[in-house]
């Protein structure tokens, strides 16, 4: 039995393929500032040209000292995801 995450990922991939079939790039990529590096490389690896437009998330939250620990944990989590994506050759 496939997990809900796997089903969601498969559905998203299929939807994206259908959506982009007749549209030429470059595409505007909007993602959180903390995820942009990884997201841009995933699209590049898929052969799509993107124009990155990071939404201020982590850097905006880091302005408040009370949120800095959570931002640090988010950055550490993103670094782990980057290593995982590299191990899977997704980037």
Please report the beta strands in the chain, taking only residues with DSSP state E, as ranges in sequence order: 27-32, 50-55
C-alpha 53/C-alpha 77 separation (Å) is 21
Residue 23, token pair as written in the block: 């549209």
Is 55 in a helix, a strand, or coil? strand
Report the pLDDT value the prediction gives residue 1, as an integer from 0 to 100. Answer: 46
Cα 27 to chain centroid, rounded: 14
Q: What global pTM score does this model have? A: 0.68
Report the pLDDT value the prediction gives residue 58, as an integer from 0 to 100. Answer: 78
Nearest partner of 40 among 28, 24, 55, 56, judged by Cα: 28
Instruction: Write out residues in the chain with pLDDT < 50, as ranges.
Output: 1, 5
């Amino acid at each position: 039995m496939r997990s809900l995450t796997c089903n969601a990922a498969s559905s998203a991939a299929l939807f994206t393929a259908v959506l982009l079939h007749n549209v030429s790039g470059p595409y505007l990529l909007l993602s959180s500032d903390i995820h942009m590096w990884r997201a841009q490389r995933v699209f590049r690896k898929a052969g799509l040209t993107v124009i990155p437009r990071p939404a201020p998330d982590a850097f905006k939250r880091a302005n408040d000292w009370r949120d800095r620990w959570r931002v640090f944990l988010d950055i550490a989590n993103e670094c782990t995801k980057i290593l995982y994506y590299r191990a899977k050759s997704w980037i």
